Structure 1
């Protein structure tokens, strides 16, 4: 459980940057997977 003090936003800021990092990582993985899917047909065509 994350306790957020009224005058102290540091925990919230840490939590927010962590969530942002996770979302960016998920987006990056999605881009990587779609990039792989784009390359698979060309790899098959070269064989």
Structure 2
């Protein structure tokens, strides 16, 4: 299994428009994609996560 981690640093956080674009892009892939912050991990393909 191939695994990759990417760190995105944005002091303003991930707001509605950027979050929507991220989930649309993530949904194009068969991979499991997660977003984590402060030891909380959520599904990167779901805007409701």
TM-score (normalised: structure 2): 0.31
| Bigger Rg, which one | 1
Normalising by structure 1, report the TM-score.
Answer: 0.32
Larger relative contact order (Cα-Cα within 8 Å, sequence gap ≥ 6): 2
Higher-helix-fraction structure: 1
Structure having the larger proportion of residues in strand = 2
